[in-house]
Amino acid sequence: MFWRIFWHLLGASRARLALALVTLASGAAITSALLNIDLDAERKLTREFRTLGANVVVAPPSESSEAALVDAAAMDRIAALRSRLLSVAAPYLYIAASAGPQPVILAGTWFDQVSKMNSWWKVDGNWITARDDRSQCLVGRIAARQLGLAPGSLVELRAGDHKISLRVAGIVTAGSAEDNQILTSLAVAQELAGLPGRLSLIQLSVAGTPIEIEAFMSRLAGVLPGLDVRPVRQLAAAEGSLLARIRGLIFWTMLLILTLTTLGVLASMAALAMERSRDVGLMKALGGSVRRIMRLFRTEAGALGLLGGTIGFVAGVILARWVGGRVFGVAISPRWEVFPVTVALSVGVALAGAFPLRLLGRVRPAEILRGE
């Protein structure tokens, strides 16, 4: 009998229920889209930040002397971690040298790793793709202007009793300290300085959320005792700040949407309560308890929330992909963990909006039967 009355109520108030369903589905669609964007934006934003350079640095302890160096064996220990979070690892050796009469800082590194880590650098000429190219170098924009160098030029570098001639493959515009440096292969810098197997520091590009990066740094510090493992504060702070602002905006937008959806359902259910006063009076006259009648209406509201949440989730996935393509220029992947959250919120909003139906419990059967 319960379900027969339930289906009769659904069929008898189709217009009002359809309006409530559209309201719920609309709110659920926007909620679903925002949740999908929030969850996927963190992964994509983290990936974009990794193209801006290193976010973790391994260096000698800060209290050590300026001459302290890192053993190159640290690179093997880092590689042995085999972490999915580690994207790129680039060792560096900085030495003071001269190019003719002009003093200059040489940065010896692995060219293939630097090109992956700093893909945003502007290079006039060609990147050096071979890791250990002993015949070419990259020159920073300011250093090239001071030394009068251009792509294809030869430059003679000297450090102590060692010297080498290299061809300039490209002029680098990095907007940072590299603009004043000459980048050579790590082996060339070690040979000029007479420091085989030594490094100044190691730059790492680590993907993942801030919590995952912190966990990776703790793990890395454990396998590199005696060395400082620290984040690049500018990138870490910018990434954390941007993520916090995006999440704050999404949270308050969702709260506003859910509030408006609740008010919309509330208005529909209030009108529905007025229409059903006669039905409720008749059910109470026939012996129906208030608890059983309220359970009937709560089931109806829950069913609306379940259906509206399901429809809204599907629409939200489509909306998220559209927003991602038009606003962010990336495809937002559907996150299935959003589905139960969307449905639960939709059911909660439907039950909250169905509050006016509780007033039907005060209907007096005698007044209804007398037509009052």
pLDDT number for residue 32: 85
Contact 138, 123 (CB under 8 A): yes
Give CA torsion, residues 215, 330, 238, 108, to 10 deg.
70
The reply to whether 118 and 6 lie within a common domain is no
In this structure, is residue 32 part of a structural domain?
yes
In this structure, is residue 238 part of a structural domain?
no
The reply to whether 71 and 200 lie within a common domain is yes
The reply to whether 183 and 103 lie within a common domain is yes
Q: Residue 222: which residues within 8 A CB-CB, separation 6 or more?
A: none
The reply to whether 264 and 195 lie within a common domain is no
The reply to whether 193 and 304 lie within a common domain is no
Full residue range of the structural domain in which residue 99 is found: 64-81+90-204
Using the 3D structure, point to which of 172, 204, 236 is the last residue of a domain.
204
Using the 3D structure, point to which of 204, 236, 255 is the last residue of a domain.
204
What is the spatial distance between Cα 187 and Cα 209, in angstroms, rounded to a whole number? 34
What is the spatial distance between Cα 107 and Cα 301, in angstroms, rounded to a whole number? 68
In this structure, is residue 217 part of a structural domain?
no
What is the spatial distance between Cα 79 and Cα 62, in angstroms, rounded to a whole number? 24
Beta strands in the chain (DSSP E): 56-59, 70-71, 86-99, 102-109, 122-125, 136-140, 154-159, 162-173, 181-185, 198-199, 201-206, 228-231
What is the spatial distance between Cα 111 and Cα 128, in angstroms, rounded to a whole number? 6
What angle, 0 to 180 degrees and rounded to 10, lies between the N-to-C axes of helices 233-275 and 210-223? Answer: 150
Which single residue is written with the structure tokens 């910018």? 238
In this structure, is residue 210 part of a structural domain?
no
The reply to whether 153 and 253 lie within a common domain is no
pLDDT number for residue 6: 52
Using the 3D structure, point to which of 149, 180, 204 is the last residue of a domain.
204
H and E: helices and strands count for the chain = 12, 12
Q: Which residues pair with 154 in a beta bridge?
A: 167
What is the spatial distance between Cα 13 and Cα 10, in angstroms, rounded to a whole number? 6
In this structure, is residue 215 part of a structural domain?
no
Tens digit of each residue's pLDDT (9 = 90 or more) over 5-40:
555 555 556 666 777 778 888 888 888 888 887 776
The reply to whether 342 and 252 lie within a common domain is yes
In this structure, is residue 230 part of a structural domain?
no
The reply to whether 256 and 339 lie within a common domain is yes
Positions in the chain short of pLDDT 70 = 1-16, 40-53, 63-67, 209, 233-244, 269-294, 326-331, 354-372
What is the number of domains present in the chain? 2
pLDDT number for residue 109: 93
The reply to whether 248 and 163 lie within a common domain is no
What is the spatial distance between Cα 103 and Cα 240, in angstroms, rounded to a whole number? 39
Which residue pairs, CB below 8 angstroms and at least 24 apart, start in 340-343?
341/35, 342/28, 342/31, 342/32, 342/35, 342/309, 342/312, 342/313, 342/316, 343/28, 343/305, 343/306, 343/309, 343/310, 343/313
pTM: 0.57
Retrieve residue 344's tokens: 């639960």
pLDDT number for residue 245: 72
H-run or E-run covering 256: helix 233-275
Contact 77, 224 (CB under 8 A): yes
**Side-chain half-sphere CA neighbours of 133 within 13 A:** 19
In this structure, is residue 27 part of a structural domain?
yes
The reply to whether 170 and 103 lie within a common domain is yes
**What is the three-class DSSP state of 322?**
helix
The reply to whether 278 and 320 lie within a common domain is yes
